Amino acid sequence: MNELRRSLGTVSFALYSAIVVIPITLALIRLISVTGFNPTGWFASLSENYVSLGVTNFTVVQATASTFATLVISMPIAWVLGRYKWNNEPIIRSILTLPFVVPSIIAAMGILTIVGSHGLNIRSDQSTWWWTLVISHAWFNMALFIRFCEPLLSSMNPELEEQLRLLPHGRTRLSRIRNLWLPLLMPPIVAAACMTFVFSFTSFALVKWITVGNNTLESMMADVSSSAGIAGYMESSSNIVMGASLIQFTILLTSLWLTSVIQRKQSYALDFSRSHHSKKIDRRGLIVLIPALIFASLPLISVLIGSFRIRNLNPNTGDFSWGTGGWEAAIEGGFSFAPVAHAFGNSLGYAFLTLIVALPLGYTMALTIYDLEKIKPRLGRLLDVFTMLPFALSAAMIGLGVLIGVIKINPSAAYKFWALPALAHVMLTTPFVVRIMLPAIRSYDKSYDENAKVMGMKSIERFFRIRLPLLKGSFVVSSVFVLAMSLGEFGASFVIARNTDWVTLPLLIDAWRGKPMKDPFAAPASNAIASVLLLMTMILFMIAERFRNSREGGMF
């Protein structure tokens, strides 16, 4: 590790610690000053207050069920995609993995259109809400299983299975699953399951809109956050936030730790083969593939259709009619709603601001972890886990941390500092940059750098002429991920954006949808804005797909 890299690494980790640790620490100090240090009281408050009663149980049960449902739905899809040969495979893979980058508020709008009164019409029955949420989480997270497992399935040396077929304990299909597929697929399955559990546990927009009245820890915290951290005012809110945060932090950190341990213990040096050697043509896979493509695209198509469907106020003229009224309402805005162009500008501004900070920060941290893995492996692993800390904090907690932390430093900034939401977006997106860049840096052949050195190139020149072009794909994918996540970020922005001038596209969708349904444009306008956001996300996703290395497993 040379001096420049060491200095950059130190600065990047110091900055990241400041961005992540300081607001959260200040928020904790603030909350503790209001509630007193009383862990028993924090946890007890969760069962004492009607706002939080049963929330922990509901969160854990729905996250577990969602993880199981995602596993059951996704693994056959990953199998047919990985083991069989398909025409237009990149397009199929893109459609099936798009849901993961779609902002959850868009998914919520699409799913509401499907299950709503002009769709399946099952929302009148409260018992279906729970299942709708579980299936929605499966829709949202199935890309994780596909992304984590499909590279292994598609590129594994076929001789591993052929050899097993010739051995006594590999003669039956079941024994091959038990002795080969299951042990090899276990690490990516466990990693995907843990991440699915984490995302389902911290899901906000889907919970808020699909299960009205049934809170998760995340949505409940976001709800009570406005009254938390204020001395002498609704102290129960601060108690609830402390109890919920601690439970959430413990469970999420355990999930991430489990992922890390299992991946490290079972990271086999697999003998990969070229994917066209292992794949075969089997049209029976269409039984899985066609329903999967419909399942993946239906909520997105529903958003667009829903933007043109306007409820008729006069029952004599039918249930609904088709028109562009929703789009017009969204474009014009209203007395209490910003025009879509205003939210669009804010969203883009926050996204690019986030990118400017998160990309170099994530890259230099990934580089430092890589350097430390060789000289101080334990420290390298520790910092690797540290960069994942925001995964364990959840968006609402981060939003609350930023808000309370900033109020502590400079109260007026909470209402005047336009860039504040971008701070939370940096916290949420930087871990993804590290996770995407680290495998790329690990697979980068250092002889390229060494050769450039002997040709007399200085470090800056080497970066721009050698390293950047070779790692271009990962940089583009990271950038796209940061932009897409920031554009669609809802939980933290919902908590932080106290100034209505800071409204983003997801917040505007939420505001329109929250309007009383007697306004016929409430649903179509929210769907129209969701369509704009969806279009932006899809463009970014298509750019990322062009640069994605299909053989790289475990990448988001």
Exactly one of 61, 120, 121, 162 binds other proteins (CB under 8 A); which one?
162
Our CB check for other proteins shows the closer of 171 and 458 to be: 171
Nearer to other proteins, 263 or 499 (CB): 263
Per CB under 8 A, which region of 154-162, 313-321, 364-372, 451-459 contacts other proteins? 154-162
Those residues with Cβ within 8 angstroms of residue 132's Cβ, 6 or more apart along the chain or in another chain = 111, 115, 122, 123, 210, 211
Give yes or no for residue 163 binding other proteins (CB under 8 A): yes
For residue 180, CA distances in Å to 74, 169, 174, 492, 519 come to 20, 10, 10, 43, 58
Site membership for other proteins, residue 514 (CB under 8 A)? no
Q: Find the radius of gyration of the CA atoms of the chain.
A: 24
Segment lying near other proteins (by CB under 8 A), choices 180-188, 424-432, 454-462, 522-530 = 180-188
- Compare residues 151 and 506 and give the one whose CB is closer to other proteins: 151
Number of residues that bind other proteins (CB under 8 A): 23
Q: Which stretch binds other proteins (CB under 8 A): 19-27, 169-177, 402-410, 545-553?
A: 169-177
Contact stretch for other proteins (CB under 8 A) within 166-174, 208-216, 243-251, 384-392: 166-174
What number of residues does the chain have?
Answer: 556
183 in contact with other proteins (CB under 8 A): yes
Quote the least distance from Cβ 470 to other proteins, whole Å: 28
**Is 169 among the residues that bind other proteins (CB under 8 A)?**
yes
Q: How far is CA 360 from CA 8, 259, 350, 432, in A?
A: 10, 26, 16, 12
Residue 161: count of CB within 10 angstroms of its CB: 14
Under the binding rule (CB under 8 A), the answer on residue 264 touching other proteins is no
Q: Stretches 130-138, 144-152, 160-168, 299-307: which one binds other proteins (CB under 8 A)?
A: 160-168
Residue 170 interacts with other proteins (CB under 8 A): yes or no: yes
DSSP state at residue 280:
B
Q: Exactly one of 22, 180, 190, 253 binds other proteins (CB under 8 A); which one?
A: 180
Binding letters toward other proteins, positions 271-290, x by CB under 8 A: x-------------------
- Considering only residues 184 to 223 of the shown chain, the ones binding other proteins according to CB under 8 A are 184
Amino acid at 52: S
Q: Is 270 in the site for other proteins (CB under 8 A)?
A: yes
Shortest spacing between CB 269 and other proteins, in angstroms: 6
Q: Which is nearer to other proteins, 173 or 498 (CB)?
A: 173
Asked whether the beta carbons of 136 and 108 are under 8 A apart, the reply is: yes
Q: Are 59 and 206 in contact (CB under 8 A)?
A: no
Torsion of CA 555, 79, 143, 147, to 10 degrees: 0
Instruction: Output phi, psi for 320, to 5 deg.
Output: -155, 165
Three-state SS string over 444-487 comes to CCHHHHHHHHHCCCCHHHHHHHHHHHHCHHHHHHHHHHHHHHHH
For the CB of residue 78, give the shortest distance to other proteins in the complex, in Å: 19
Q: How far is the CB of 258 from other proteins (least distance, A)?
A: 18
For other proteins, give the closer residue by CB, 174 or 460. 174
Give 283-348 as a DSSP string: GGGHHHHHHHHHHHHHHHHHHHHHTTEEE-SSGGG-SEEE-SHHHHHHHH--SSS--HHHHHHHHH
Among 269, 281, 454, 460, binds other proteins (CB under 8 A): 269
**Any residues with CB less than 8 A from the CB of 308 and at least 6 apart, and which?**
322, 323, 324, 326, 327, 524
Distance of CA 133 to the CA centre of its chain: 16
Which of 128, 179, 263, 549 binds other proteins (CB under 8 A)? It is 179
Among 32, 164, 230, 304, binds other proteins (CB under 8 A): 164
What one-character-per-residue DSSP string does 208-269 give? HHHSTT---HHHHHHHHGGGTT-TTS-HHHHHHHHHHHHHHHHHHHHHHHHHHHHHHHT---
Using CA atoms, how far apart are residues 12 and 25, in angstroms rounded to an integer?
Answer: 19
Closer of 265 and 283 to other proteins (Cβ): 265
CB of 530 to other proteins, least distance (A): 44
Choose, by CB under 8 A, the member of 157, 260, 263, 549 that binds other proteins: 157
Q: Which residues bind to other proteins, rule: CB under 8 A?
A: 157, 159-160, 162-172, 179-180, 183-184, 266, 268-271
